[in-house]
Structure 1
Amino acid sequence: MLTQFAGQRLEDQLELYDEWADRFEDLPLYFMTFHGQQNIKTVIDTMQHAVYMYDITHVVIDNLQFMMGHEHLSVDRLAAQDYIVGAFRKFATDNTCHITLVIHPRKEDDEKELQTASIFGSAKASQEADNVLILQDRKLVTGPGKRYLQVSKNRFDGDVGVFPLEFSKDSLTFSSSGKSKVRLKKMKEDKPVLAKKAPEGGAGASKQP
């Protein structure tokens, strides 16, 4: 994350490390110390404390699957996922706090784009979500493949579309392709669509600058 924040590999410029580390420390960014499966009530209580103590306005949960094995062991996973998604939706509404929830897709054919059906038990999550972003990774036999961010649901004004992405090894970040124009077009949503794909990580909470 420090490399991403600095936009460069600091191991090659150690004299700059302290400066960037100090700047990173000043960010209004906080981390929950959870790893692996967690009880939803414990996570919600921690988020509630963060909102009260630090005025947190944006919480990132990475990811939903980490929490699934701990909840409602006596019921099926679909019911457990619906319960967790509903709890996060209620928290966001009650606390005027945005929640970004990462949901990994099922394994699909590399030649196919991710769709709503790619997400296990996705109906509840897609209905509750205000915005749905899909990180598409199309692997090609003849090259490194294509990555793009697909906005497939936008409750605010309905604008959806595709943003081509390029990966920088130096900064470990994705950014819009400079060679391709961003394609964002107005489309009517005929049905809710959800799929999210993101790297593995931990749960975190941040206060927006």
Structure 2
Amino acid sequence: MTDRELAAAGEVLLFDPAFLNPRYDGTLWVCASPEDVYAQGINAVCFLPGRGPEDLKRCRPFLNQFDCLFVAVAEEKARKALAGELRSAALGKPVWVPPGQSFRGCASLAELKSRHGTEALESLPMDAVELPAYGLIDLSDVDVEEGGRRAVAVSGISTLDGAIGGFGEGELSVWTGRRGEGKSTLLSQLLLEAIDQGERVFAYSGELPKKLFKRWTLVQAAGSANLTALTDPVTGRTDYAVDAMKRRRIDEWWRGRYFLYDLEIASAHDEGSVLSMMDYANLRYGCKVFLVDNAMTMRFRQGSDSDYYRAQSAFVGRLSEFAKRHSCHVHLVAHPRKSEGKALAADDVGGSGDIVNRADNAFAIERLPEAAAEQSGYTARLSILKNRQFGARKTVGLTFLEDCRRFSGLDGVLGQKHYGWENGECVQQIVELPPDGNDPWETSHEST
């Protein structure tokens, strides 16, 4: 063992170099105190004040000299805690843990040696149990009897849901498409579908201010039958709006279920801030469906362009890890590279190629030229570029309703769908006023 290895270990562990000999039996005893290190003597260490298992990476070459770690801690609670921390931080080393009765009621190695002699210390490893290296499991211990993959939500587009089995928990879906072709619109609709299926959702919209985001989402939730057409007398353009009473009913329907990340905060586009807010939305409100729209609006810590793409790839990895850790589904919008004149493919997703590699699903949405739409009978196509679960590859025809901003499959079901707010699924009862009645909400509480 070199002086350099000992010096690095000495910043984390307390030991006597004269008593270190990895060739003795290959076991490193991790003790609770300097007194216990002295009692054991050979190959015994303890952590310095302020240090812990998470610091062991600093002395990897030192640890590599030993075959395994032995948790030589008498107090049961401390022994179990240290064993768990060592297992996750010991760089692939097996961890051995003795049972509590091996310490014969003693509170420390020093007491055990004092009361029962050196033989009592030497017998400790005999009944120890090995904890496998962290991250390695026996396949026979994996329980799949309760059913395999579970869909957090479905899209409501029967052809798509039949191909991919819905949007599964622990998965990341990447959506791409050229600007203005409907990515954000379709994903906003998917969040409404999730709410209608009883899930809570979170949305980061990096390009739309909150009022515009809500206006568009209100129109989608209302549907064609509940919209009022408004024609601008100057331009002649027709827009569609939701009246005050229906807006309040919709607000009560999605209250406590739909959470929007506020772009007005100072750190709005910082990747760490967005991920932290996603964590909070899951833990505090139980959100299970997340939308990050889009990767290009995120602010990463980077210098050169190559650093930016590495940071983007790392962010996508963190989104994937987030989905798996919380058993939720994350939708990420990523713009494509320039690819005019041909259908989009997985390789066309902008940024680092790792974006699609890290995703469980990848989709592309494209609006068809007018002539192609007339010939095919649909106005947009949704292509499944990647589906890890079933290997699905399919193109789904969609129609788009301009007034309510909804996409629908060719069966037209979603275009005519009535969401829960129309079926009485509101937190508070809404009382309809007569046509000539005074509406106390008209000026003071009207939604924007």
Superposed pair shares fold, TM > 0.5: yes
TM-score w.r.t. structure 2 length? 0.36
CA distance in 2, matches of 1:54, 1:15: 28
Task: Give the aligned residue type for 2:332.
Answer: L
When structure 1 is superposed on structure 2, of 120-129 and 97-106 the one drifting more is: 120-129
Structure 1 residue 7 and structure 2 residue 223: aligned? yes
Aligned position for 2:358: 128
1:26 pairs with one of 246, 253, 278? 253
Aligned position for 2:348: 118
Deviation at 1:176, TM superposition (A): 1.3
CA distance in 2, matches of 1:113, 1:15: 36
**Residues 73 and 164 (structure 1 numbering): CA distance in 2 closer, same or farther, change over 3 Å?**
same
Deviation at 1:49, TM superposition (A): 0.7
Structure 1 residue 56 and structure 2 residue 287: aligned? yes
Structure 1 residue 94 and structure 2 residue 325: aligned? yes
| SS across alignment from 1:106 | coil
Task: Give the aligned residue type for 1:73.
Answer: Q
Listed as ranges, the gaps of 5+ residues in structure 2 are: 1-216, 230-239, 413-448
CA distance in 2, matches of 1:2, 1:92: 27
Deviations 1:142-170 (A, max 9, x none): 46684211112112222221111111122
CA distance in 2, matches of 1:85, 1:15: 36
**Residues 44 and 147 (structure 1 numbering): CA distance in 2 closer, same or farther, change over 3 Å?**
same
Task: Give the aligned residue type for 1:113.
Answer: A
CA distance in 1, matches of 2:244, 2:300: 42
Structure 1 residue 170 and structure 2 residue 403: aligned? yes
- Specify which structure has the bigger relative contact order, considering alpha-carbon pairs within 8 angstroms and separated by 6 or more residues: 1
| SS across alignment from 1:57 | strand
Matches within 5 A, 1:138-177: 138-139=368-369, 142=371, 146-177=379-410
Task: Give the aligned residue type for 1:98.
Answer: H
Deviation at 1:94, TM superposition (A): 1.5
Q: Between Structure 1 and Structure 2, which shows a larger proportion of helix residues? A: 2
**Residues 147 and 117 (structure 1 numbering): CA distance in 2 closer, same or farther, change over 3 Å?**
same
Listed as ranges, the gaps of 5+ residues in structure 1 are: 180-209
**Residues 29 and 15 (structure 1 numbering): CA distance in 2 closer, same or farther, change over 3 Å?**
closer
Deviations 1:165-194 (A, max 9, x none): 111122211111249xxxxxxxxxxxxxxx
Structure 1 residue 45 and structure 2 residue 276: aligned? yes
Deviation at 1:20, TM superposition (A): 4.7
Paired residues of 1:85 and 1:125 also in contact (CA < 8 A):
yes
Task: Give the aligned residue type for 2:223.
Answer: G
Deviations 1:49-75 (A, max 9, x none): 1111100111100000000xx212214
Q: Between Structure 1 and Structure 2, which shows a larger proportion of strand residues? A: 1
TM-score w.r.t. structure 1 length? 0.73
Aligned position for 1:193: none
CA distance in 2, matches of 1:47, 1:171: 28
Paired residues of 2:400 and 2:407 also in contact (CA < 8 A):
yes
When structure 1 is superposed on structure 2, of 44-53 and 114-123 the one drifting more is: 114-123
**Residues 3 and 94 (structure 1 numbering): CA distance in 2 closer, same or farther, change over 3 Å?**
same
CA distance in 2, matches of 1:127, 1:46: 25
Aligned position for 1:84: 315
**Residues 72 and 16 (structure 1 numbering): CA distance in 2 closer, same or farther, change over 3 Å?**
closer
Instruction: Give the CA RMSD over aligned residues.
Output: 2.6
Paired residue total: 175
When structure 1 is superposed on structure 2, of 26-35 and 12-21 the one drifting more is: 12-21
Deviation at 1:45, TM superposition (A): 0.7
| SS across alignment from 1:47 | helix
Paired residues of 1:4 and 1:172 also in contact (CA < 8 A):
yes
| SS across alignment from 2:369 | strand
When structure 1 is superposed on structure 2, of 126-135 and 74-83 the one drifting more is: 74-83
Deviation at 1:136, TM superposition (A): 2.1
Percentage of identical aligned residues: 25
| SS across alignment from 1:26 | helix
Task: Give the aligned residue type for 2:262.
Answer: T
Task: Give the aligned residue type for 1:19.
Answer: K
Task: Give the aligned residue type for 1:53.
Answer: R
**Residues 66 and 37 (structure 1 numbering): CA distance in 2 closer, same or farther, change over 3 Å?**
farther
Aligned position for 1:74: 303
Deviations 1:73-97 (A, max 9, x none): 2142221211111111121121212
Deviation at 1:17, TM superposition (A): 4.1
